[in-house]
A and B are shown apart, each in its own frame.
Chain A
């Protein structure tokens, strides 16, 4: 093993975040900034995109943690940074005693077997020049495990995800979107990982197809005791698959709770707006719902608002708070702590509301 022998004990768990058993992956104060360069010949750094700002969470063994947020909230950046596909600007990512952010590429390599990812776009993430068999076998080859019997192993993997192993000599373009995503899942499972990051795994699929992939993922998770970090923007999907859900807004975590609680009694105004905005496929319920709507668009992550980043769109800030109460929203970054509702919320004036 070339990984450093700094096998440290796990970090103390985050208070109130829930989750049971042993934490597998621990993320602390993760920061990722991307430089913004000026135009012209001499390109100077003129600012930063604050993609992820001080995010902490634990992923426990055998659980699905959902990371939800709208575009630009930083959820994909987190998944890429955790795997070292992007270098973290600051913060720690601890996996089984290894500080992943401090490892070199070479040191990281053996750990990649245990940390796998399934990408969003099943059209772009599979090599069009490789057969499906080659695609699924590639991780085995890279990690020197493609010996005799590996062919049968690949067939078994294809069968596992619901594909016909006889189609292994076909190319990715011959498959539908749902089947391609299954190929991506088979590839991620080839090395028997412990942690799989799923980055919007079903958002490119039609609903009737999506359901099959979700069922497959849930079966794999429970049967193989995998830990899933499930990144998605679709709250309905999240509610279905995730045990705990973390909500992101503009690079920060604003609320984290068990899925059932988060959707039944969201406490952060942004979570409330998100839950309100999801249309229910039930005409009577949908028309009778109480809604919390928010105005405007997400501000630029190059110059995020001071204090609470949601305040520029927050209905509570705009309609309910007094001027003196607003001062803390403008000046103080609300910490992600339990404010009496039973789960951590990053809002100075958090209050649970029943919306469904």
Chain B
């Protein structure tokens, strides 16, 4: 018997478009134990949000979803919308990026929290639901909640609204909270407050957390394990220590090397050249190979599987993961900036015409 609350296996999502099939998610699998927190990081278009939506059954009908998503042993894929609705909120709750669009502008926030409570507790009285809503608003750190419960979303700041969304997510004591870029739209000081509210929500409900973000700093502070996504796949996964201190996938190493840091002075960043591949007609081989400085012939033909690299739960999808032991980003990636020759020519060249001549 496992203690996993959420198991995702070989999940793939495809969208049909006019230009062909977009393979947004390609065989993603992870396992979330009770109370644990997993960070999913990746850049835009890596498939992290689509994976979350597929788990929640929130993708549009045109999406082709395959694989398996089990919540406490129950298979969710293929479940009717009515059955899923029973689960959403009470079993798995979701926090979206933009609180302006995830709250309904025509109802006050108290109503929106009560609505979730009453949906899963039909016997609850209106008055009790309201009382609980006030309590929840207080828990997530909204000042004078008894007054704020009657506010409409537009009367609140972005940070406040996100707190309301967290209150709604924790209302029915879920076992899993999936937070999709919960702080991306917010200023840093407010981000710190929201992450604190999220920690409170987890402590109160004991829920496991899937935190989807592009911010490696947020992941470092708030999750136990990390999965790095690239081009619709998990390319590396392990404990936060594994990922941050001993990355075994060139992409992860590149991400860490391209990050300017507040706590140290780096002479030069090491960017990853090029851009992520289009998920339409993805060529064979490792999707990272066109940008990878370690690329060899085999990378263009065989897509590496997610294999053990280092510790038991540290997996990497790279043919040459072993070569990355004790290697820094600056040893693998070039610190490219301006084209040196062009820059020297530009610096030497005189302006084309006399600068004193005024055309106006």
Contacts and interface: CB of A to CB of B under 8 A. Distances in A.
Contacts of A328: none
Q: At the interface, is chain A mostly helix, strand, loop or mixed?
A: helix
Interface residues of A, number: 75
B258 interface: yes
A179 B187 CA distance: 26
B188 A233 contact: yes
B196 A207 contact: no
Contact of A215 (B188, B259, B263, B336): B336
Contact of A1 (B192, B216, B356): B356
Contacts of B215: 279
Contacts of B338: 160-162, 215-216, 219-220, 223
A287 to B, nearest CB: 6
A144 interface: yes
A240 B337 contact: no
B255 A207 contact: yes
Contacts of A324: none
Contacts of B270: 211
B224 to A, nearest CB: 10
Contacts of A2: 358, 360
A208 B263 contact: no
A189 B351 CA distance: 12
Contacts, number: 190
A163 B216 CA distance: 29
Interface in A206-249: 206-212, 214-216, 218-220, 223-224, 233, 235-237, 239-241
Nearest to A202: B260
Q: Indicate the member of B240, B356, B358 with the most A CB atoms within 10 Å.
A: B358
A239 B221 contact: no
A260 interface: yes
B260 A212 contact: no
B43 A149 contact: no
B189 A273 contact: yes
Given A71-B187, A215-B269, A280 B220 contact: yes
Interface string B103-124: 0000000000000000000000
A86 to B, nearest CB: 21
B82 interface: no
A178 B193 CA distance: 31
A258 B351 CA distance: 33
A281 B358 contact: no
B354 to A, nearest CB: 10
Given A223-B338, A236-B262, A240-B266, A212 B271 contact: yes
A333 B349 CA distance: 50
